[in-house]
Amino acid sequence: MKFWEMLSKLDRRIIFALVFLAVLLPLVFKMGLPIKGIQPPVKAIYDHIEKLPEGSTVLISITYSPSTMPELYPMTLAVIRHCFRQNIKVVCVSLGITGVGIGEMALQEAAKEYNKQEGVDYVNLGFQTGPVTLGMGQDIHKTYPTDYKGIKVAELPVMKNVKTYKDIGLIVDYTASGTGYIGTAVTMYNANLAVGVTAVGAADLYPYLQTKQIIGLMGGLRSAAEYELLIEKPDKGCIRMDSQSIAHLLILILIVVGNIAYFVTRRKRT
Amino acid sequence: MFKRKLPLVLTFVGGVVMIMWFFIPRSNQPAQIFFTELTTRWMPIIGAFFLLIGLASLLKLHYAKIAHQREGWGYSVITFAGIAFMCIVGFGWGAKGVPLAKAYESVFIPLDSTMFSILAFYMASAAFRAFRARTIVATILLVTAFIVMLGRVSFGTSIWDGLPSFTEWIMTVPNMAQKRGILLGICLGMLATSLKIIFGIERSYLGSKE
């Protein structure tokens, strides 16, 4: 009984140390835990991009800050890689100022691998204040007169035939929580939208998935790992899944142990 | 009189026009194009003022902390130093410059990620201390969370092959039903508040005396 009492008063610093080790060790000693099965909403995004003809355009929207990068960056990179593999042009925008650098990093990383040229195969339009999701439905060139580096958008070959949402095959919005494209791009301009979101934010977006307002959904690191497997390029998502799996296992054990300790000590008190 | 009536009239006209504009199908009519361009031009200007007000407010708060040497004033000095550093790097070398990109990659990303990652430690501690099956509702929540967490990780399929599919069912049926209910509730609340503001029933934005 003393054991359970002691356990129920466990110092939080011990829990912190356990979490630290559960996250760190799988990253150092790679375990390669299997990832079986692909969730249908993830497969739907993959299939949509597969069906897009060569030379079409995908809009990548970065609506997250570095705080959620461990979950969202792998899926951003995976979709950009997929587009480049299919010779699909990528236009990147950021709905938050802190997302500009993330978009640039992902584009540069993928462009190097697939030998893609900036301004011809892809562009980072950067950040713009105001109702950009609305403005892009009317005229992308007016909403973003210059790209992230100050080059006039009208002069970029990649933007030559991209004026509104009608010229975009798919919008993929990466966000830490909700998406701002449903009320504007989807409802007002009938654009195709897919969303990449943190695992905790995914639950909020399932109603839009059922109503087909979004064509696909990537929720959390597992979806990123699944997408990496779909494009046959396992990378950060798959590596980090080991760490996340062990951390989840630890939390599950803590919940079970915490409950046993609670019920044993409560019985003793009564 | 003018100070009270003018904002009310502007709010009414702006609100009604926005509603009409949203529900009329897109047809690239000159009036629609004009209104879209007007809003897309105005909002960045208003946004720039927000940025200035935010920055001024932040600097004022931290200056007062340093001036009175309140608890934790050292962090305020770091805030000033950080703002000054990013301004020098940004204005000095511009957005294209390597220093800004390096500052972003080597300082901002690790700091922002570190702040957020602290959540994992608190969540684990809270799960151990507070996530108890005290009532039936709490037990349902606990069991559901347990299944969804297992279904989302690599070893979930080792326990049961159908676990990911069962997790997906939880997300697409019971989870979605309650989310839709919450969403409808929020939207109805927003609609009611918006109508009250447009018709001048809710006037708290005019000042405390209203």
Q: What ipTM was assigned to the predicted interfaces of this complex? A: 0.79
Distance from CA of B85 to the nearest CA of A (A): 16
Phi first, then psi, for residue A34 (nearest 5°) are -70, 145
The minimal CB distance from B154 to the residues A39, A148, A241 is found for: A241
Residues from chain B contacting residue A104 (CB–CB below 8 Å): 101
Which secondary structure element, helix H or strand E, spans residue A4, and what is its range? helix A2-8
Provide the whole-model pTM.
Answer: 0.87
Could you tell me the maximum CA-CA distance found in chain A, to the nearest angstrom? 78
Alpha-carbon span A67 to B114, nearest angstrom: 7
- pLDDT number for residue B61: 95
The Cα A56–Cα A162 span in angstroms is: 9
pLDDT confidence bin for A5, thresholds 50/70/90: confident
B49 close contact with A: CB closer than 8 A: no
Do residues A104 and A118 touch, judged by C-beta distance below 8 A?
Answer: no
**Confidence category of residue A160, pLDDT binned at 50, 70, 90:** very high
Residue A270 has pLDDT above 70, yes or no: no
Looking at residue B87, its amino acid is: C
Do the chains contact at A37 and B165, CB–CB below 8 Å?
A: yes
Amino acid present at A122: Y
In B, minimum Cα distance to A219 occurs at B152
Task: Measure CA of the first residue to CA of the last residue in chain A; give whole Å.
Answer: 14
Residue B201 per-residue DSSP state = S
Q: Which of B107, B154, B167, B168 to mutate to test the interface with A (most CBs of A within 10 A)?
A: B154
Residue given tokens 């007169």 in the structure block? A145
Give me the helices (H) in A38-175, please.
40-51, 69-85, 100-114, 132-138, 140-143
Distance from C-alpha of A190 to C-alpha of A111, rounded to nearest angstrom: 30
- pLDDT single digits (tens) A118-149: 999 999 999 887 788 988 988 899 889 999 88
Strand order from edge to edge, sheet including A57-63: A122-127, A89-94, A57-63, A170-175, A193-197, A216-219
pLDDT at A267 over 80: no
Task: With beta carbons less than 8 A apart as the criterion, state whether A223 and A214 touch.
Answer: no
Q: CA distances (Å), A168 to each of A87, A165, A173, B32, B165, in order?
A: 14, 5, 13, 22, 32
Tokens of B63: 């200056």
Q: What is the pLDDT of residue A109?
A: 96
Note whether B180 contacts A: Cβ–Cβ < 8 A: yes
Residues, chain B: 210
Give the residue on A whose Cα is nearest the Cα of B42: A130
The dihedral through the CA atoms of B15, B20, B22, B27 has a sign that is negative
Half-sphere exposure of B130 (CA within 13 A, CB side): 6
A93-112, pLDDT tens digit by residue?
999 888 998 999 999 999 99
Nearest CA among A250, A32, A221, A178 for reference residue B120? A250
Q: Which two tokens stand for residue A194?
A: 């897919």
Shortest Cα distance, chain A CAs vs residue B202, angstroms: 25
- What is the rounded CA–CA span in Å between residue A233 and residue B73? 48
Q: How far apart are CA A221 and CA A218, in angstroms?
A: 8
* Res A33 pLDDT > 60: yes
Instruction: Name residues 70-129 of chain B within 8 A of A (Cβ).
Output: 95-96, 101, 104-105, 108-109, 112-113, 115-117, 120-121, 123-125, 127-129
Nearest Cα of chain B lies from the Cα of A162 at a distance, in angstroms, of 17
B148–chain A nearest CA distance, Å: 11
- Mean pLDDT score across all residues of chain A: 92
Q: Do B161 and A36 touch (CB under 8 A)?
A: yes
Strand spans (E) along A128-267: 170-175, 193-197, 216-219
Select from A20, A143, A207 the Cβ nearest to the Cβ of B183.
A207
* Cβ pair A129:B133 closer than 8 A: no
Strands A170-175 and A193-197: parallel
User: Partners of A57 in the beta sheet?
Assistant: A89
Q: Which residue from A149, A241, A252 is facing B150, i.e. has the nearest CB?
A: A252
Closest CA to A82 of A243, A182, A216: A216
Rounded to a whole number of angstroms, the distance from the CA of A50 to the nearest CA of chain B is 24
Alpha-helical (H) ranges within chain B are 2-23, 30-67, 73-93, 98-103, 109-130, 136-151, 156-159, 163-170, 176-198
Q: Mean pLDDT by 10-residue block, N- to C-terminus, for chain B (210 residues)?
A: 84 88 71 75 82 93 94 93 90 80 86 88 89 90 90 82 87 90 94 94 77
Can you tell me which residue has the tokens 């009492």?
A: A5
